[in-house]
Amino acid sequence: MDDEFAGFASVADGRFTLHGQCAQPLGVHASLADASVVLELELIAPVEHLADSRT
């Protein structure tokens, strides 16, 4: 995702609160790596959903 806003994570008490590209909450995660995986899945989910709906 070059030059596009993908989302953000904030850190408090060692937990990473993740928000998506529309600032929607995507949960609290134990590590930045865990939050990154969830964000990656969120970013590809709409594309996969559209592909599934055409079959």
pLDDT at residue 31, as a whole number: 96
Could you report the per-residue pLDDT of 28-49, keeping only the tens digit for each? 999 999 999 998 888 887 655 5
pLDDT at residue 35, as a whole number: 93
Which CA distances in Å does 53 have to 41, 43, 47, 48? 18, 17, 10, 9
CB 25 within 8 A of CB 19: yes
Cβ atoms < 10 Å from Cβ of 53: 7
Q: Rounded to two decimals, what is the model's pTM?
A: 0.68
The mean pLDDT of 1-7, rounded to a whole number, is: 71
pLDDT at residue 10, as a whole number: 94
Q: Which residues contact 10 (CB under 8 A, 6 or more apart)?
A: 16, 17, 19
Could you report the per-residue pLDDT of 7-25, keeping only the tens digit for each? 899 999 999 999 988 888 9
Torsion of CA 8, 20, 46, 31, to 10 degrees: 60
